């Protein structure tokens, strides 16, 4: 076989088989999970709109910047979580951890600002404390997870947790292209869903702070959190 024929042979290998499998599962066995995740992202988008509306129309002058920063912070969290979802579909859940770490930090910013709206000025002047200091000030609960992601996802190491996903232990070979099973994929979707619920739960506090009376949105948020528990009950 000539060199060019060898290259043509390897070019036929499906680099995106994990995404193809994920799409099939989401259309069939994981149809309910797919629908729920779609609703979750749409709901976060509605929450961004609601915070922006408060900023534009309802917030007193001294709180306008507070809700402006809140809306863009939540929007950034949504972008990062969508990125995690996309990488998970490609079987790159370990690599998605590199996005999950800043997602944790953005979420903790929402708490940091909500605890003291005056901290918004730190953001606008570019003088925010480091992520670790913010976590301490809000008594953040993700220190161990952040350190794990730092060791095994944000940075590469030769610890087993960092490279085990690169090895097919059944066939005793190293894989350059990602693979995943439906059970592993569903478990990773559960993680995505959990964080959707965490973000939406934080928005409850922001709306309560504004004495927001959008009962329809609040009902949707509560319904989503309950549906999440029902659909992913096997994972909890």
At 129-163, the pLDDT tens digits run 998 899 999 988 877 777 666 665 555 555 656 56
- pLDDT tens track for 64-88: 899 999 999 999 999 999 999 999 9
DSSP string, 99-144: HHHHHHHHHHHHHHHHH-GGGHHHHHTT-PPPHHHHHHHTT-S-HH
Residue whose C-alpha is closest to residue 190's, from 102, 88, 43? 88
Positions in the chain whose pLDDT score sits under 70: 1-14, 147-174, 176, 212-213, 236
The helix-helix angle for 17-27 and 31-53 (nearest 10°) equals 90
């Amino acid at each position: 076989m000539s060199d060019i024929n060898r290259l043509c042979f390897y070019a036929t290998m499906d680099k995106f088989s994990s995404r193809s499998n994920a799409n099939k599962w989401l259309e069939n066995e994981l149809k309910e999970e797919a629908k729920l995740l779609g609703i979750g992202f749409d709901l976060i988008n509605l929450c961004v709109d609601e915070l922006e509306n408060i900023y534009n129309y309802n917030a007193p002058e001294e709180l306008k910047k507070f809700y402006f920063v809140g809306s863009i912070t939540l929007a950034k969290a949504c972008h990062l979580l969508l990125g995690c979802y996309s990488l998970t579909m490609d079987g790159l859940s370990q690599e998605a951890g590199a996005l999950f770490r800043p997602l944790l930090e953005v979420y903790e910013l929402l708490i940091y600002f909500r605890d003291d709206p005056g901290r918004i000025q730190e953001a606008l002047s570019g003088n925010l404390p480091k992520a670790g200091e913010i976590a301490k000030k809000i008594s953040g609960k993700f220190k161990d997870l952040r350190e794990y992601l730092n060791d095994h996802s944000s940075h590469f190491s030769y610890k087993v947790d960092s490279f085990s996903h690169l090895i097919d232990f059944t066939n005793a070979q190293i894989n350059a292209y990602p693979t995943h099973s439906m059970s592993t994929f569903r478990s990773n979707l559960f993680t995505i869903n959990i964080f959707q619920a965490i973000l939406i739960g934080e928005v409850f506090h922001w709306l309560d702070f504004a004495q927001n009376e959008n009962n329809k949105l609040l009902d949707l948020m509560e319904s989503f959190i309950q549906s999440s528990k029902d659909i992913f009950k096997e994972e909890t």
